[in-house]
Structure 1
Amino acid sequence: MALKRALLIAAAACSPFLPVVHSQNATVPEIVDGTIRIYGNDAYKIPYRRLMPTDAARARYPGFKQETLTLKNGTIRREGAKALTSDIVFERDVALTLRDGVTIYADVYRPVGDQQVPAIIAYSPYGKEVGGQNLDDSAGRAGVPLANVSDLQKFEAADPAYWVPQGYAIVNPDTRGAYASQGNITYWGRQLAEDGYDLVEWIATQPWSSGKVAMSGNSWLGVSQWFTAAEHPPHLTAIAPWEALADLYRHVTNRGGIPAPAFQESIITSLAGNGFVEDSPRLIVGEGLINQYWEDKIARLEEITVPAYIVASYQNVLHTHGSFDGFRRIQSESKWLRVHNSFEWPDYYVPEHVEDLRKFFDHFLKGLDNGWDKTERIRLAILDPGHEDELNRPVGTWPVDGTTPTRFYPQADGALSTTAFKNKTVASYEVGGNSSLLTFKYTVPDGELLEINGYSKVRFWVEANGSNDMELQFLLEKRAANGSAFAGFGATASNPTISSTEYIRVSHRALDTQRSTNFEPYLTHDREELLSAGQIVPIEVGLWPIAIRFHPGESFVLTISPVQPLTTALDAGSGVAAITIPAAGGTYEPGSNVPMITLGGVKSNPAFVDEQRVATPVGRNNGTHIFHFGGCYDSHLLLPLNITSIA
């Protein structure tokens, strides 16, 4: 059966077909064998799983319909959304053929008339109209008021109601395998990169196109920019990745070497189409070491030379490291970094940030001499919970020059000190006990204002009693003078406090000495080195970057704890919200009585979608975790500090 299905997948990828809708009642679980194009291998074998059908309620698919509409000035998409400020040509389900014969479909929003304009691509499989991912699925729309957008925008993407009046086209594709598009959905890598190239070059041939093409958007849309730009499509003129991981294995799926398929399950079960999707969760648990497959999921940042406006934050559990990595490693002569203090979605739609992005695009896509080239290359946010954050601090480099590398050593009383503890000491906890963690604390003295600004590192000597491995989380957070932590921000509970974190599976402690630096250990993840009884080994863990300020009496606390596997039954609620739009598509006059349809509003997936989930991984934490410091054990926390006297 698997071989037969694999052959059907291959045939479908090369044969044209009309879009069809599969009934969710007739669909059963299917995990099948197939191949994917990766760098260095044209037919790498992987598992695929059946996608949620497009007629499932949580797919929120308004249907396939090739048509051209004129959306009139003053009309709206939804009650409460922003009205259009100009007429917009809306071309729906426009077909384009990729290099391997697969046809995908895109929606195009552009100005009325014959003018040629630059285009902005929003590249993801989430649906180009409503779709399985939408801000309405998050509490409070994740801080993006409906009144601030038209709701014509694709999830995490530019709003046509703003950009078309500014003289741009917005192109929203359903990527390979998504909804009516042919083929199977892939997770970045070579296949997506080549598809992105083909889309850019197709846009450049359209009669309405000026030949200048850009990409913009958050998360998946940002990651897609790294991969597409590395292919050097000739007409790609600028990119604007707003929070984007750059190494799927190290930044999300197997962070620290620990398989974590739960988040991927929450995403993959929200995707819809007529075929299959690359079964990332099965590969997370089945291929736990870096190999050719995972190498394909590392963005080739050094290949990127196109102008770039990159946005990052310190608290994004998926994208923080990749966003900063992208800025540092791309080879573009024209690149800018802005670091904000909130979350990717509200930041993207703040009017002043939309204007900032337009200034960047106007400069590179329209050739306007608008002063963008005078914009500071790096603008940082300095977090200061309990006080007022500092925004848009201009600095010359990232990481910031002028910080002082400072070691803080754990003490027997739970303190951190710049002086090493003289005697060999141990601290421990029982895994699964009432207090399965260790904390070490440093309090800022009177008269000092302290900033941690950049990447930090933990070096610790560890031992496991009752297990041959350990899976650890290291968390560095700010505490108020009264000892309380500061609540994190964002759309999920993944960041309960404002902190810098990293994980490690101790058997994955091997370092690439060529790529590692004083502050940034680089784990190879190419082998396992299990612990033997009584063995004490050093580990080095690079905490994700942060810029945060501490006042006298406040403290930073290093917490060490065992990682608990997150259940793969995780359901983030994507596709649940009920969204009402015009039945005929497009927009309507406010207050008019037009037929409407409601998409979503159902909390359950088709049964087979959840039956395809992988089992929650069994963690490797058992027995007692023992931590050695003092004497010959040079365990310490290394921080990049700026200290100012305020006496």
Structure 2
Amino acid sequence: MDALKSEIRDGMHIDWDMPIVMDDGLVLRADIFRPTRAGKFPVILSYGPYGKGLAFQEGYKTAWEIMERENPDVIRGSSNKYQNWEVVDPEKWVPDDYVCIRIDSRGAGRSPGFMDHNNARETQDIHLCIEWAAKQKWSNGRVGMNGISYYGSNQWRAAASKPKHLAAICVWEGWNDNYRESSRHGGIACSFRKNWMEMQVKTVQHGVGDRGKKSAVTGETVCGPETLPEAELRKNVDDVWKRVMDNEMIGDWYEERTANLDKVDIPVLSAANWGGQGLHTRGNFEGFVRSKSKNKWLEVHGGSHWAPFYTDYGVALQKKFFDFYLKGKKNGWNKTPPVSLLVRSPGEKFTLRNENEWPLKRTQWTPLYLDPNQKTFSQLPLKQEAKIQYDMMGNGVTFAFPPQTQEVELTGPMALKLFISSSTVDADIFAIVRVFDPKGKEVLFHGALDPKTPIAQGWLRASHRKLDKKKSLPYRPWHSHDEKQPLTPGEIYELDVEIWPTCIVVPKGYSIALSIRGRDYEHDDAAAVLSNMKHPMKGCGPFTHDDEQDRPPAIFGGKVTLHMGPKHQARLLVPVIPKKK
């Protein structure tokens, strides 16, 4: 298949299905949007599996409709004909003298091959695509990567592979640790991986051909010119869920798909979402803190997973960053504060505040001791031994402060120390930090995908309690996941649960609570539905942990006892932020 065609339309020179030959001879296909005038321009490159010819409006209908309704600035200034899920709109970039390249990943869309997500072959493909783009006659030799989620997470690995011409990356809500952030939370398998393959990936696999969608712009089949038999399609894709099920502990498969942040040393803009509990949030914070880049910035916002990227706010931020590093424009970006937070309050209210580091240096790390007598917190260690039991498959137990007598801000990661015994050989801990209004109703917050979520979550399988002492921090325990340590029923074990970073200003009269349970959190409101998600969402979005192969009821359906007191000081460590003086 030769390049479909080149044409000028909507003020852009567009090359459809441009071939890019890999080192093993396989030909990937790219759509290239560039200025119509002659010249050399910086490149914004994205590589992923969602079908470059599939319109956002068609492939992700409800997400588009919500964005169109709630963020009208996204729609303005564009015909929106070239909108794709989670990548830049070329109509908003090409007029500012950028070349936008969208590449269908190996085995996806119009690129043939075996589909194996996030592996070393994919990283090598991206590396080669970057170097190819840098050498084209219309390129100034400076390539940046930009995009959300999949198009963000693969940037960490691409940067670690050190392509000569990759000048900067903007990772917008992108994980980097395949095990801890994507596949197994605290060792517990996240069912998102299974449903994601069925809903978002196999539907645009190369070879679906005539059975799939057609591009609204070109009229060509989104999933390649050929239509392959179902049996061949199945042979052409790795079974990700089987890999997750077959590999409970960290090994080569996960490590190959995890970025080595020690090798990321180019300029980085890491944009996180407070509401991304369950997939990307941790990766953006860890990527910012642990990458070796001397020039790196952290931006944290709220709202949906997709909309902020496309808003005037998001586009202006991205362009200022890339203008500085890809065009050499002296726009003052280098004087931008390292950390920019949209501080969250109930009612989806956000206040922009600049900071110098993460976690914040002025954080008052405050232990809240679990008191089972009143199911509350004590700011002093308990003096008497006590315990409380719950059914793993029930609602667990909730500890709550009385209503706040003054406003308090919690911004940062949290850590929960527990002492438990189980009636079986294991136990899964789900830790949920919550906020209640003065009338006792839970205040829910807009998550990245689920519009109603609690403020923070953490997970740990008790048999995965082993810590890496060198990597662990008081506020962020690091589990090695390299050795399974089953429990002896009735014996007491110490657990350290990582709770992902969050931000909330708790008003006077509101209360802070912690729920500990043995299954996913669910709120009492109506479930939310997105067309690209398999199941209605009840508080955790699609990031649930409900596979019975991973969580057999005989083991994870028993009883857990929480132990507290002088010898078992169970506590939640919270990041209290004093006001700036």
TM-score by length of 1: 0.77
Q: Tell me how far apart the structure 2 counterparts of residues 501 and 491 of structure 1 sit (CA, whole Å).
A: 14
User: Does the residue aligned with 1:443 lie in a helix, a strand or coil?
Assistant: coil
Q: 1:573 aligns with which of 516, 520, 531?
A: 531
Question: What is the identity, as a one-letter code, of the residue corresponding to 1:461?
Answer: F
Q: Tell me how far apart the structure 2 counterparts of residues 94 and 464 of structure 1 sit (CA, whole Å).
A: 58
By how many angstroms is 1:403 displaced?
1.3
- Could you say if the C-alpha distance between residues 645 and 95 of structure 1 is closer, same or farther in structure 2, counting changes exceeding 3 Å? closer
User: What is the aligned partner in structure 1 of residue 396 from structure 2?
Assistant: 437
Asked if the contact 1:403/1:640 (under 8 Å) is kept, the reply is: yes
Q: Within 5 A, what are the aligned runs for 1:206-285?
A: 206-271=136-201, 272-274=205-207, 275=233, 276-285=236-245
Question: What is the identity, as a one-letter code, of the residue corresponding to 1:440?
Answer: F
By how many angstroms is 1:297 displaced?
1.7
Structure showing greater radius of gyration is 1
Q: Tell me how far apart the structure 2 counterparts of residues 104 and 176 of structure 1 sit (CA, whole Å).
A: 7
Q: Deviations over 1:465-513 (max 9, x none)?
A: 2x211112001122212222222214633x7333111111111111111
User: Does the residue aligned with 1:481 lie in a helix, a strand or coil?
Assistant: coil
Q: Deviations over 1:269-325 (max 9, x none)?
A: 432113522221101111111011111121111211111111112110310000111
1:307 partnered with 2:267: yes
Asked if the contact 1:118/1:365 (under 8 Å) is kept, the reply is: yes
Q: Tell me how far apart the structure 2 counterparts of residues 498 and 269 of structure 1 sit (CA, whole Å).
A: 25
User: Does the residue aligned with 2:136 lie in a helix, a strand or coil?
Assistant: coil
Q: Tell me how far apart the structure 2 counterparts of residues 99 and 399 of structure 1 sit (CA, whole Å).
A: 42
Q: Tell me how far apart the structure 2 counterparts of residues 358 and 534 of structure 1 sit (CA, whole Å).
A: 58
Structure 2: tracts of 5 or more residues without a match? 208-232, 523-527, 535-546
1:375 partnered with 2:339: no
Number of positions where the alignment pairs a residue of Structure 1 with one of Structure 2: 524
By how many angstroms is 1:343 displaced?
2.4
Q: 1:504 aligns with which of 430, 452, 460?
A: 460
Q: What's the % identity of the aligned pairs?
A: 28
1:68 partnered with 2:6: yes
Asked if the contact 2:421/2:493 (under 8 Å) is kept, the reply is: yes
Asked if the contact 1:311/1:323 (under 8 Å) is kept, the reply is: yes
1:455 partnered with 2:410: no
Asked if the contact 1:444/1:551 (under 8 Å) is kept, the reply is: no
User: Does the residue aligned with 1:483 lie in a helix, a strand or coil?
Assistant: coil
* Structure 1 residue runs of 4 or more that deviate by more than 4 Å after TM superposition: 142-146, 643-646
Q: 1:93 aligns with which of 17, 28, 39?
A: 17
CA RMSD of aligned residues (A): 2.5
1:552 partnered with 2:508: yes
User: What is the aligned partner in structure 1 of residue 256 from structure 2?
Assistant: 296
User: What is the aligned partner in structure 2 of residue 191 from structure 1?
Assistant: 121
Asked if the contact 1:135/1:141 (under 8 Å) is kept, the reply is: no
Q: Within 5 A, what are the aligned runs for 1:507-586?
A: 507-563=463-519, 573-574=531-532
1:171 partnered with 2:131: no
Question: What is the identity, as a one-letter code, of the residue corresponding to 2:573?
Answer: L
Q: Within 5 A, what are the aligned runs for 1:379-390?
A: 379-386=340-347, 388-390=349-351
Q: 2:442 aligns with which of 485, 492, 499?
A: 485
1:138 partnered with 2:63: yes
- Could you say if the C-alpha distance between residues 267 and 90 of structure 1 is closer, same or farther in structure 2, counting changes exceeding 3 Å? same
Q: 1:464 aligns with which of 419, 422, 436?
A: 422
Asked if the contact 1:262/1:616 (under 8 Å) is kept, the reply is: no
By how many angstroms is 1:574 displaced?
3.1
User: Does the residue aligned with 1:285 lie in a helix, a strand or coil?
Assistant: helix
Q: Tell me how far apart the structure 2 counterparts of residues 105 and 253 of structure 1 sit (CA, whole Å).
A: 29
By how many angstroms is 1:137 displaced?
4.2
Moved more, 377-386 or 219-228: 377-386
Asked if the contact 1:337/1:378 (under 8 Å) is kept, the reply is: yes
Q: Tell me how far apart the structure 2 counterparts of residues 572 and 187 of structure 1 sit (CA, whole Å).
A: 23
User: Does the residue aligned with 1:290 lie in a helix, a strand or coil?
Assistant: coil
User: What is the aligned partner in structure 1 of residue 558 from structure 2?
Assistant: 623
1:355 partnered with 2:311: no
Question: What is the identity, as a one-letter code, of the residue corresponding to 1:342?
Answer: G
By how many angstroms is 1:225 displaced?
0.7
Q: Tell me how far apart the structure 2 counterparts of residues 351 and 169 of structure 1 sit (CA, whole Å).
A: 19
Q: 1:147 aligns with which of 75, 96, 99?
A: 75
Asked if the contact 1:151/1:159 (under 8 Å) is kept, the reply is: no
By how many angstroms is 1:402 displaced?
1.1
Structure 1: tracts of 5 or more residues without a match? 1-17, 19-63, 73-86, 577-613
Asked if the contact 1:480/1:555 (under 8 Å) is kept, the reply is: yes
- Could you say if the C-alpha distance between residues 575 and 417 of structure 1 is closer, same or farther in structure 2, counting changes exceeding 3 Å? closer
